[in-house]
Amino acid sequence: MAGSLQSASRLAGELRLDCDVVVVGSGAGGAVIATTLAEAGYDVVVLEEGPHVPNTGAMRPSESIRHTWRDGAVTLAVGLGDSPSINVTAGRCLGGSSTLTGGVCFRIPDHVLDGWVKEGLTDLTPEKMDPWFTEVERDVHVEEVPANMRSRGTELFGEGFSKIAAPLKPMRRNTRGCHGCGRCNFGCAHKAKLSVDIAYLPRALAAGARLYTGCLVGKVEFSGTRATGVSGRILDFDTQRPSRPFSVRAKRVVLAAGAMFNPLILAKSGFKNPVLGKHLSLHPSFRVIARFDEPVRGWEGAMQSAYGDFYEKTDGMLFNSVSVPTGVLAATMPGFGTAHGKLRNQLDHLAIFGGMLHDDATGTVRPGLGREPIMTYRSSPRDRARIPVLLRRMASFWFEAGAKEIFLPVFGVPGQTADSLKNFPLEEVHGRQMECSSQHPLGTCQMGVDPQRSVVDDHGRVWGTQGLYLGCGSVMPSSLGVNPQLAIMTMARRTAGLMVGEGR
Amino acid sequence: MQAELQPSNIGPPGREHLGLLPPPSPQDDVANRKLVLPPPRVRRAVRAVAEALFDDETPPDPARLDWAADDFLRFMVTATGRAHLILRASLFALTWLTPLFVFTPLPFAWLPVKRRVLALERMEHSPLGPAALAVKAMLCMIWFEHPDTQTETRTVPACKEVA
Ligand SMILES: Cc1cc2nc3c(=O)[nH]c(=O)nc-3n(C[C@H](O)[C@H](O)[C@H](O)COP(=O)(O)OP(=O)(O)OC[C@H]3O[C@@H](n4cnc5c(N)ncnc54)[C@H](O)[C@@H]3O)c2cc1C
Ligand code: SF4
């Protein structure tokens, strides 16, 4: 029987539902769990805070941000001490952050899985994870980006990278029929990006799941230590402010609200645990922009087509091709008026590449005033020391490829030539002056084997409760060092499979 | 209420039959949200920043400035969570604190354009830099979405295949 998809804001009267499993959040984790369980015959309800915005590519980037990105993309993890503050972005719509990705898909590196196994998570070996990965990769159609889809900027960075390190590798992405128009973060007009709203949620619907948008879940309801459902507020469609209450009774509850929100919901539900909200890992990311004499038109090409992992295992640095809207490129240029105009008029000569740190998971998420969390991030000394190294390396790749000047992610600093960069005191720049971003909040409700040092067991069950599971980026036992959507979907698929195995 | 999937031929091999989620009804379409825009003084402040930011050898097109200021306000009231608060606070700082960087205790919009540019540049290098940047980032993004800007700056988007 086909399920339903409704905006709760439009429903008259109170919303009270009964089901086998309620899934909170429809993103990378939640969609996969909901689909698996619905297809296994469970009566599934999915509650999503954000609206349903079909991924058509019809919106301008700024329109997409205002409607589908959380907080209009201004969320900050406040840097403590000498750490940079980090702009953390996430989705807030049906399909969650999955709808905003560049499509990049990495398996969890073997050395990361080996580390988890050493911590006692003995079922997470590369061999045992392989079937789960294979299934999800098939479902979302993970394929290699052909070299002819690379932007000119990526080709140039690749030239420099291969002279100093090694050739870039082709990215694997969840796409089919990509035209290389580089606007994956804002909706794909060609429906080529197989995000969960395309690859999974229609399956859940076809299997009878009931999907509700505009439902902000506040807390999990318990009877003793057994989870019995969730409650929260329906959001007014026009203002997106909480209005009427709703409640869902369920035999099992899955929280998949992402690493920023799962700890808040658990805390509001009265759940206590020494590591709840801690160990936030963000993969702090930095961009370095280069100006070439030749026109580059860096925005033409598959958004993320190649990567360099030469330094990942040794130094925890991953270099990923990125493409950003020209307006964002312009915004990163220093100055105003004529000075800014000079740079604005050369946007087609600029190329951009990203560098990401495999961090030590040193952030924290706490409840704040209102419904958004307070996030803080204090880089470990090791992470902090690696920032200038990462930036200098990226600059050297660009110069090796013939760049005339580069623009560092340091507020207000003019372009640097190869010579001027040598004397630029990058190592002394305060974190406060650095521009840093993250699209990968992870690990605030870590999986582990010790209830005092983790929030969920290796099935995704919340310690000390019954019938309560977590299934999103919040459960990652450590930072991954690679883009996480495939890892999240796969871990969620595994948790759902184990839930089915446990029986009703 | 049951939802019918929309026919489609996308999806991974073996699942091409999989439909798409049905689109929202017009009343549930986010483009049709009823917005309450802030008072005109806020618009004046946004427009004054845009006028300085995009000032060049020739002043920016007034109609495009109006469009950008209006779209900025639509962004501000549509984006959820703290976006509204942060942009409002940044605009407040720009209106009242930026002029102090050129030692003029007047609202920002009252300053001549060149003076505004100087004040903004000084602010960008100060600890208040992030306030200037939040508004600059959003204005730049919107500005470069205007087809005329894209033509002028040779940044008209194109697919790699077409290019
Ligand atoms: C711009 C961008 C680009 C990215 N690109 C890539 C990429 O190319 N490759 C990659 O691997 N990863 C990428 N990522 C990261 C990836 O998208 C996320 O790591 C992943 O989607 C997270 O999955 P999740 O299930 O943990 O959370 P999400 O996908 O964020 O889903 C959580 C959902 O829960 C909802 N929710 C939150 N609180 C509540 C509540 N109280 N009640 C109801 N619903 C709630 C949210 O609205 C959201 O829809 C990108 C992320 C962004 C933002
Ligand atoms: S680059 Fe490919 S996947 Fe991304 S928006 Fe364009 S067509 Fe879609």
Q: Tens of pLDDT along B74-94?
A: 999 998 778 888 899 999 999
**Residue B4 pLDDT greater than 90, yes or no:** no
Mark whether A97 and A166 lie in a shared domain: no
> Are A151 and A288 members of one domain?
yes
B56, B10, A448: which is closest to B65 by C-alpha? B56
Q: Does residue A415 sit in the same domain as residue A455?
A: no
Are the C-beta atoms of residues A412 and A432 closer than 8 Å to each other?
A: no
Tell whether ligand 1 has an atom less than 6 A from the beta carbon of residue A43: no
Whole-number Å distance, alpha carbon A55 to ligand 1 midpoint, is 15
**Residue B162 pLDDT > 60:** no
The answer to whether residue A199 scores a pLDDT higher than 50 is yes
Chain A residues 154-213 within an 8 A CB cutoff of chain B: 176-177, 179-183, 191-192, 194, 197-199, 201-203, 205-206, 211
pLDDT in tens, A80-95: 999 999 999 999 999 9
Verify whether ligand 2 is closer than 6 Å to residue A173 (CB atom): no
CA distance A370 to A242: 11
**Chain B residues lying within 8 Å of A206, measured CB to CB:** 5, 18-19
Please say whether the beta carbons of A336 and B120 come within 8 A: yes
Structure tokens that stand for A159 in this block: 């030239």
CATH classification at residue A374? 3.30.410
Give the chain A residue whose CA is nearest to the CA of B19.
A202
Segment A352-363 mean pLDDT? 94
Q: Per residue, what are the HEC states of chain B?
A: CCCCCECCCCCCCCCCCCCECCCCCHHHCHHHCCCCCCCHHHHHHHHHHHHHHCCCCCCCCHHHHHHHHHHHHHHHHHCCCCHHHHHHHHHHHHHHCHHHHHCCCCCHHHCCHHHHHHHHHHHHCCCCHHHHHHHHHHHHHHHCCCHHHHHHCCCCCCCCCCC
- Window from A26-35, A289-298, A458-467, A476-485 with minimum mean pLDDT: A289-298
* pLDDT tops 60 at residue A357: yes
Q: How confident is the model at residue B129 (pLDDT cuts 50, 70, 90)?
A: confident
B 75-114 near A (Cβ less than 8 A)? 75-76, 78-84, 86-87, 113-114
| Predicted pLDDT at B16 | 72
Q: Is the pLDDT of residue B7 over 70?
A: no
Q: Is the CB of A281 under 6 A from ligand 1?
A: no
Q: Which two tokens stand for residue A177?
A: 């029929």
Question: Per-residue confidence at B11, pLDDT binned at 50, 70, 90?
Answer: low
* Binary contact (A337, B113; C-beta < 8 A): yes
- For residue B124, the model assigns a pLDDT of 87
Residue span of the structural domain in which A295 resides? 143-180+282-438
Identify whether residues A158 and A201 lie together within a single domain. no
A3/B5 Cβ within 8 A: no
The pLDDT value given to residue B158: 75
More confident residue, B12 or A112: A112
Q: Are strands A15-24 and A242-255 parallel, antiparallel or unpaired?
A: parallel
- What mean pLDDT is reported for chain A? 95
Percent of chain A with pLDDT over 70: 100
Between A303 and B27, name the one with better pLDDT: B27
Which two three-digit tokens encode residue A283?
Answer: 């993969």
Which residue type sits at A354? Answer: G
- Report whether residue A214 contacts ligand 1, using a CB cutoff of 6 Å: no
Domain check: are A452 and A352 in the same one? no
Q: Are the C-beta atoms of A485 and A195 separated by less than 8 Å?
A: no
Region A114-133: mean pLDDT is 97
Structural Rg of chain A based on CA atoms: 22
| Pocket of ligand 2 contains residue A102 by CB under 6 Å | no
Both A253 and A224 in a single domain?
A: yes
Asked if the C-beta of B122 comes within 8 angstroms of chain A's C-beta atoms, the answer is: no
Q: Are A429 and A103 in contact (CB under 8 A)?
A: no
Flag whether residue A344 sits within 8 Å of chain B, measured between CB atoms: yes
Q: Which of A26-30, A290-294, A345-349, A390-394 has the lowest mean pLDDT?
A: A345-349
Other CB atoms within 10 Å distance of the CB of residue B142: 25
CA distance A338 to A360: 42
Q: Encode pLDDT of A446-459 as tens digits.
A: 999 999 999 999 99
Average the pLDDT over A115-141 and give the result: 97
DSSP labels, A161-193: HHHHT-PPEEPEEEBSS----S-GGG--TT--B
Domain shared by A265 and A405, yes or no = no
Antiparallel, parallel or unpaired: β A44-47 and A15-24: parallel
Q: Tens of pLDDT along A206-229?
A: 999 999 999 999 999 999 999 999
Do B141 and A72 make contact, defined as CB atoms within 8 angstroms? no
pLDDT of residue A492: 98
In this model, does residue A280 exceed pLDDT 60? yes
Confidence of residue A1 (pLDDT cuts 50, 70, 90): low
**Is A242 in CB contact (< 8 Å) with chain B?**
no
Q: Is the CB of A6 inside 8 Å of chain B's CB atoms? A: yes
Our count of domains for chain A comes to 2
CA distance A72 to chain B (A): 5
DSSP for A252-265, please give it. EEEE-S-TTTHHHH
* A interface test, pick of B29, B61, B144 with most A CB neighbours within 10 Å: B144
Q: Is B70 within 8 Å of chain A by CB?
A: no
Distance CA A125, CA A416 (A): 45
Residues of A in contact with B150 (CB under 8 A): 326
HEC states along A398-450?
HHHCCCCEEECCECCCCCECHHHHHHCCHHHCCHHHECEEECCCECCCCECCC
Residue A173's nearest CA partner among A320, A309, A57, A316 is A320
Q: Which A positions 110-139 lie with beta carbon below 8 A of chain B?
A: 138-139
Note whether A383 and A257 are same-domain residues.
no
Best mutation site among A200, A485, A490 for ligand 1 pocket (most ligand atoms within 8 Å of CB) = A485
Q: Tell whether the model's pLDDT for residue A56 goes beyond 80.
A: no
CB nearest to A338's CB, from B55, B71, B159: B55
Cβ neighbours of A225 (radius 10 Å): 12
Q: Residue B107 burial (CB < 10 Å; 0-12/13-18/19+)?
A: middle
Q: Looking at residue B1, what is its pLDDT?
A: 55
Name the β-bridge partners of A174. A142
- Within this chain, do residues A259 and A294 fall inside the same structural domain, yes or no? no
A81 three-class SS: coil
* Strands in A268-409 per DSSP E: 285-291, 306-308, 317-321, 350-357, 363-367, 373-377, 405-407
What band does B160 get if pLDDT is binned at 50, 70 and 90? Answer: low
Based on the fold, state whether residues A422 and A449 are members of the same structural domain.
no
Tell me which chain A residues have a C-beta less than 8 angstroms from the C-beta of B54. 337, 341
Helix (H, G, I), strand (E, B) or coil at A356: strand
Q: What is the pLDDT of residue B163?
A: 46
Of A419 and B57, the structure prediction assigns the larger pLDDT to A419
**pLDDT tens profile A305-319:** 999 999 998 999 999
Q: How many whole angstroms separate alpha carbon A264 and alpha carbon A219?
A: 9
Q: Is the CB of A177 under 6 A from ligand 2?
A: no
By residue count, chain B amounts to 163
Ligand 2: centre distance to CA A186 (Å): 10
> Which ligand has the shortest distance to the CA of A52?
1
End-to-end CA distance of chain A: 20
Check whether residue A353 and residue A235 sit in a common domain. Answer: no
Q: Is A30 in the pocket of ligand 1 (CB under 6 A)?
A: yes
Distance (Å) from the C-alpha of residue A379 to the closest C-alpha of chain B?
A: 20
* Count of C-beta atoms within a 10 Å radius of residue A10: 14
Shared-domain flag, residues A320 and A453: no
Instruction: Flag whether A67 is in a domain.
Output: no
Q: Name the burial class of residue A374, with classes exposed (0-12), middle (13-18) and buried (19+) by CB atoms within 10 angstroms of its CB.
A: middle
pLDDT above 90 (res A333):
no
- Please indicate whether, in this complex, the C-beta atoms of B24 and A7 are within 8 angstroms of each other: yes
Distance from Cα A485 to the centre of ligand 1, integer Å: 8
Domain CATH code at residue A250: 3.50.50.60
